[in-house]
Structure 1
């Protein structure tokens, strides 16, 4: 880890804790009202992560966020995708955009170069 990425980690941590709290409130609202705000969906997220450990961290962050669950990694035509179950997103596009943003923030906080190792 470089000095720059060490400086970015606290900002990422604060952002992520906010995401968890916000998602917790949304899940709690679904439970208390007994109504889902959005239909359940499984979304295929293209991965920007190049290393296996980055994919594992990203998948873990998704699973730790209430309302989302990482189902697995698939590979198609040389590209890797994460399959994610979501009850928090209004559309597949919103899920892809928000999760891609999470991955980009994570990659800035946990940079890595080279092949998938």
Structure 2
């Protein structure tokens, strides 16, 4: 009896799989894989490209190279913060990787120590 139920389950499962394949779009049924049929690489949308540029546009610098105005603003806003890494972009905006207690995060400031929201 167990074998009969197991056999029925296998047959029904295989029929379901075949049915799903039959419902695939007609253009996919008889397509022969070629170089032209290979999926195209994804191109970033303008919004995604902007985000990627923002991430990659910063150049890492030594923490000692951060302007005094930025370090003073950091000490004033977050007295217990530890500056782990710093980076700068072409606009003289600084990306600061800081740790406060057990939390880590990124802060952004311009060269005058004014905070930037990103």
TM-score scaled to structure 1, two decimals?
Answer: 0.29
More strand by share: 2
Instruction: Tell me: higher relative CO, structure 1 or 2? Use CA pairs within 8 A at least 6 residues apart.
Output: 1
TM-score scaled to structure 2, two decimals?
Answer: 0.29
